[in-house]
Amino acid sequence: MRVAVLASGRGSNLQALIDSSEMEGAPFKLSAVISDKKDSLALKRACKHGLKGYFLNPKDYCCREDFDSALAQLIKRKNIDLICLAGFMRILSSEFIACFSHSIINIHPSLLPSFPGLEAQKQALDYGVKYTGCTVHFVDEGVDTGPVIDQRVVPIYDNDTVESLSSRILKEEHVLYPRVVKGIARGLVEINGRKVIFHKGGS
Ligand code: GRF
């Protein structure tokens, strides 16, 4: 399975996917790393591992639709089967999402549907929940509203700060994301409307 990772920043989830793809018998290959930020650590990580990195400059396009259409062309040209968003800080147009329906997934640092959008870890702390976590979900037209594929739970401690909680969640993200991508590559993920069955027995 050919995977593209879209990332704007630090790229630690990208790194987890790179590491997983480099393991013997990995069922997927990272065929493109695409960023909207020229100097992103994500592109540097791709380069370090000999992966094809692409910078698409939003300033070169008059609107979101034009940017997304260039992105779609690149993804089609690379024969990508699965698009993984990993800290990609742009909202994708509905045309783009429709074009790659059920082939775009995202990782989010909360147990969706709680705390969608920005600063999910701060939202969880401010709300006072005792458990949060991370979610990998299919991307639909809403913000973090697509069908949930899998989640991992993280406890919140009384002395947690946004930083301490974020780093504990991030560790779980790095386990979850490669696991889901491998599951999809092995045909273990079945979609039935909003419900996703992840046949983990076979993973
Ligand atoms: C992660 O917390 C992810 O859940 C969210 O954006 C952050 C990206 O971090 N969507 P990184 O760039 O993968 O380190």
Q: Is the pLDDT of residue 152 over 70?
A: yes
Q: How far does residue 44's CA lie from ligand 1's centre (Å)?
A: 16
39 pLDDT band, cuts 50/70/90, is: very high
- Minimal CA–CA distance to 125: which of 173, 165, 168? 165
Query: How confident is the model at residue 105, as a pLDDT?
Result: 98
Tell me the average pLDDT across 75-87: 98
Question: Which residues, 6+ apart, have CB-to-CB distance to 106 below 8 Å?
Answer: 84, 85, 88, 136, 137, 139, 144, 146
**Cα–Cα–Cα angle for 148, 189, 99, nearest 5°?**
75
- Minimal CA–CA distance to 16: which of 163, 179, 167, 192? 179
Residue from 13, 112, 152 whose mutation best tests the ligand 1 pocket (most atoms within 8 A of CB) = 13
Q: Is the pLDDT of residue 160 over 60?
A: yes
Residue range 85-130, pLDDT digits in tens: 999 999 999 999 999 989 999 999 999 999 999 999 999 999 999 9
- CATH homologous superfamily of 107-203 equals Formyl transferase, N-terminal domain (3.40.50.170)
Which atom from ligand 1 is nearest to the alpha carbon of 8? 12
Judge whether 1-100 and 107-203 match in fold: yes
In whole angstroms, give the CA distance from residue 85 to residue 108. Answer: 10
Query: How confident is the model at residue 201, as a pLDDT?
Result: 73
Q: Is the pLDDT of residue 170 over 60?
A: yes
Query: How confident is the model at residue 200, as a pLDDT?
Result: 86
Q: Is the pLDDT of residue 203 over 70?
A: no
CA 90 to chain centre: 12
Sequence spans of domains, the chain: 1-100, 107-203
Task: Say what percent of the chain tops pLDDT 90.
Answer: 98
Query: How confident is the model at residue 26, as a pLDDT?
Result: 98
Residue range 137-149, pLDDT digits in tens: 999 999 999 999 9
Which atom from ligand 1 is nearest to the alpha carbon of 41? 12
Q: Which one of 3.40.50.170, 3.40.50.2300, 3.40.50.970, 3.20.20.60 gives the CATH number of domain 1-100?
A: 3.40.50.170
Query: How confident is the model at residue 202, as a pLDDT?
Result: 53
Contact between residue 176 and residue 150 where contact means Cβ atoms under 8 Å apart? yes
Ligand 1 binding pocket, CB closer than 6 Å: 7, 9-13, 86-87, 107-109, 170, 173
